[in-house]
Chain A
Amino acid sequence: MRRVGIKTLLGAPMRAALICFVFSVIGVVTNAHAELHYLIVAGLGGEQRYQERFEAQAESMAQAALRSNGDDSNISLLIGHKASRESLIAELQRISEVITAKDQLAVFFIGHGTHDGEQYKFNLPGPDIDGETLASLLENIPATQQVVVNTTSASGAVLESWASEGRTLITATKSPGERNATRFGAYWAAALSSDEADINKNGAVTVREAFDFAATKVAESYESEGLLATEHPAIVGENSFALNLALLQERVLMTAELEILMDELDELERDVETLRQNRGGMDNDVYLDALQSLLLELALVQREIDDVRGIE
């Protein structure tokens, strides 16, 4: 098993001494004590072109995970022959032992899936793994915030059986009948490293942002080719929509000064949100003036933070 296989891709892990990090754009901070664990599995391609595609997607997702976590200690990448049924079961069992309820879990399944009318299977080197087994393994993981992304064909088959309280479940297809190889995985991988996916430009891509980006791109890709879409991505469970899945830049160390500035920024951001919500009926010029006042202040605080962090 290649639990931390990413080391071989990206060299030595980043320094382990960092205790607390701040995102590249201040204002979005995860629970200081929670840890985000990633499990990324590239299944069997069947053909070389698919194998290469799936592995490239998995590695791209792993890069995004590393960028976000700062080190690879909580990143599991199962790829190639290592992505066997046995290894996958073992890794999910291991995660269930090390992860705590306050931690967060992100699982990405990449590859082909099948559905024979009764049972969903995720295609792996050697024996496949069925949907029920995976559901059971995932259920044993105590993290109360989970994101499970199944990018395989026929993945819509698990929409009900894998749904769980606290879990946001994303599938590439809306039903088991959508059996063609999917495009969703490629766009999901892209979303985790895309400025375009980061709608609010805070430097982090949330679950919702990544899903919206990938689903939009899938639809556009079929439309632009004049094809009927053979996949319709689905998302259920709102609990983890706001979870930051990936940072777009490396983490930096948090300081006391930064913490104060970030609080200010948070407050201003809340004010902007409040103003937006109260906009109804407000004269547009008045609204824009009020918005400008808040955004200017916010920009100045942001600049101060960047100065402290030494960002140009």
Chain B
Amino acid sequence: MNLRIIFFSFYFFCLQSANTQPIDYSADRDSALKTCDEHFYSGQRQEANDCYLSLLSSSTDALIRAESAWRVGDLQAANAYFRTGVEINPESPRVRTRWARLFLMTHQNSDAIQLFEEALELNAEYLPAKLGLAAVAAGRFEDRAKALVQGVLEADELQLEAHLLNAQMSLEEGALEAADESLNEALMIAEQKGLPPLEVYALKASVDLLNDIVESEWTDLSLNFNPHYGDIYAIPAHFYVITRRYREATELLFKAVSIQPDLWSAHAELGINLLRTNRVNEAQHHLSLAYDGDPYSAQIVNTLRLIDSFENFQVLERELPEIEADVADADKAKRPGMILRLHKDEAPILEEYVASLVAESIDVFSKRYQFELQEPVVAELYPDHDDFAVRTSGLPGIGLLGVAFGYLVAMDSPSGRGEGEFHWGTTLWHEIAHVFTLESTNHLVPRWFSEGVSVFEEWMTGPRPGRHIPLHVLDAMKEDKFLPILDLDSGFIRPTYQGQIMVSYMQAGLICQYIESRWGQAGLIELLRLYRNGAVTAEAIEDGLGVDSNEFDEGFDAFIDSEFQSVLAILDDWKEHTERAHVAANEGNWESVLDSSAASIDMYPDYVEEGDIYILHAKAHEELGQIDAAIATLEQYWRLGGYEPGVLHQLADWLYESDRSGDAIEVLSDVIFVAPLDESLHRKLGDWFLESENGELALREYLAFLATSPHDEASAHYRLARAYKQLEDQEKTREHLLYALETAPHYREAQQLLLEILR
């Protein structure tokens, strides 16, 4: 085989510690390294270092030199020796595979994959390379990792790393028994082959941890073997993180870095976790340490940059209204409030709306789930989606718009996406629901149930009315792709087809709706209680709802049939009519648009998602001069939860022109949840509130209008003056009139009002 030698760019610009190097379990590791490795694995760091340095100067084998240089932390030299090794021995899959592992350790996954694949081109059955690819896939929560590992075990069931990967993936899915079985195999192989058992111990301790055994015997065994093996805490911490038990993970990570201060990955994870609980300064400290030791991690760099960017944010603390004395005792009357982290350019516009929605959601969920929050809710809104993405990197199955880490919620701000692209009010509502499900169960709630409650609450109590299910989810429903309840978490964590995460969200929401319809809200509350007490889903369903998981799945299937059978039956016809309406619209044939869109709406009146069928129907009416019918169509669209901001502006204008200013205000107020940064929204809404003698809300809108830095600032001040006048605040009226006239001395209306109030 004639393989080209690739010279990778390897940017090692300083000497690095390599103590986070994973254990090399491959059978063909050179025996010359064995003595040094034994010192290394048992925590005899100085002896190990001396040993590797000795090999480095005495060995003539490039691979041994590379491994030794790597272990003493000289990654640049290791890279150079690996390259030499490939030049000397281009047919060796071993050298390329180990080189790939070096890249993997420094987060250069694509280069690592390329080398693993080259190794497999040299020897298609070279198992360490297959395991390397499996490790990359598992780290990305890709489903193909399982098949790769399975392939390795079929070829050689004594591959220790394959069992470890299996255990890791099983643990990530909550399959603790399967994980334990894999680890027993791994332990036996380690003993047989005399391989270091440290990673097996760490995963064994993880199994114990997830079984609520905090003091694990495996931890003691590990510390006896190597008192400085930080991963005995850091690896279990990973499973706390992916099950969203961030506080517990933080405690373990503190232990990890205390026994192994140069475990940079643990410092990084600790920093990221501290940030998830709003401990910003400590987070920055540990991330900085991690960066000093591992400058190759994009996650570390991006998180540090995110923290730096916090100087552009305002931190706003708000109280919640006190509970009335007759419904709570005095101690409970004062509730924890909220902390908003908003970009300083947007805070003056968004603060009131965000604070109001957070307060409302807390009120609603406190009652519906009978749980009082113990800490303030922290809500972060990022104008730059990349900043939000930093918050979620490395976590499986996390929503694209928002995330809740417990009391801390992070999400895109309305400007993080194109205007009207997402309903930020619904996203915030969804995330605050997570705060309740996470905190009321001490983070023991499984992902599917937490997501399910959040989706269910979007539909039942959120700012956007109606149950909204995307078309591809209906297709999945039709194709019977919903998972049994006991497997639903895997649909979030390790999806097997495009769009499965969204399908899983919707299924979870529908399951909660099913529970509520059959067992009432009490059913949902009872499940939360059982989860808090440590129940797994099978137990919670059986104990809380009195049915086993099979019966539950059958009941849910029947519920789906009753709710969607009629829709699924006409889905193809609906698509055809909708398509026909769009084609007719492109041709300007509005009569035909009217007919086809009417047929679509008749078939599936609740649908206001992609396809814009109501909008098209209204447009056809408008084109045909039937404005009243267009208004009626758009009103229906809006009442069903349609929220396209341009359309709602049009509807509001039409309603206003039809002397229905109250309805116009109601419609336009909903645009705040979609496109709140639009100055014309606040100006218009303020004007309408003022006309309807609602000075308080007019003032709120005009303050938002001014905060948008409108081009015509004088008119914003003039409007504020009018609102203050309506509220009989003479001094503020005067002040804003003077600001208006300061910019525009000839502003007649402002002059007249000034003369009037000073008369």
Contacts and interface: CB of A to CB of B under 8 A. Distances in A.
Contacts of B744: 198-202
A298 B747 CA distance: 11
Given A196-B715, A199-B743, A226-B418, A299 B751 contact: yes
Q: Which of B711, B738, B742 has the most CB of A within 10 A?
A: B711
Nearest to B683: A196
Interface in B134-172: none
Nearest to A226: B418
Interface string B742-756: 111111101110110
B24 interface: no
Interface in B726-759: 734-735, 738, 741-748, 750-752, 754-755, 758
B741 A199 contact: no
Contacts of A25: 746, 748
B445 interface: no
Interface string A285-310: 00010011001101110110010000
B746 A203 contact: yes
A103 interface: no
B678 interface: yes
B419 A201 contact: no
B732 to A, nearest CB: 12
B709 to A, nearest CB: 9
B543 interface: no
Interface residues of A, number: 35
A303 B755 contact: yes
B319 interface: no
Contacts, number: 90
Q: Is the interface of A mostly helix, strand, loop or mixed?
A: helix
Please tell me the size bucket of the interface on B.
20 to 34
B712 A298 contact: no
A198 B741 CA distance: 13
A224 B714 contact: no
B279 interface: no
Contact of B747 (A27, A201, A213, A217): A201
A197 interface: yes
A195 interface: yes
B745 A212 contact: no
A272 interface: yes
B751 A302 contact: yes
Q: Which of B421, B742, B743, B750 has the most CB of A within 10 A?
A: B742
Contacts of A217: 711
B409 interface: no
B741 A295 contact: yes
B716 to A, nearest CB: 11
Nearest to B718: A201
A30 interface: no
Contact of B745 (A200, A216, A288, A306): A200
Given A299-B754, A299-B755, A302-B748, A272 B742 contact: yes
Interface in A178-202: 195-202
Given A195-B712, A288-B735, A292-B734, A224 B755 contact: no
Contact of A272 (B678, B735, B745, B758): B745
A292 B757 CA distance: 12
A94 interface: no
Given A196-B711, A226-B419, A298-B751, 10 more contacts: A196-B715, A199-B714, A200-B714, A201-B714, A202-B744, A202-B745, A224-B675, A226-B421, A292-B734, A300-B755
8 contacts: A25-B748, A202-B745, A212-B711, A217-B711, A268-B745, A272-B742, A296-B754, A299-B752
9 nearest A-B pairs in the assembled complex, by CB-CB distance: A226-B418, A201-B744, A299-B751, A201-B747, A224-B419, A202-B746, A196-B712, A200-B744, A295-B741
Interface of A: 25, 27, 195-203, 212-213, 216-217, 223-227, 268-269, 272, 276, 288, 291-292, 295-296, 298-300, 302-303, 306
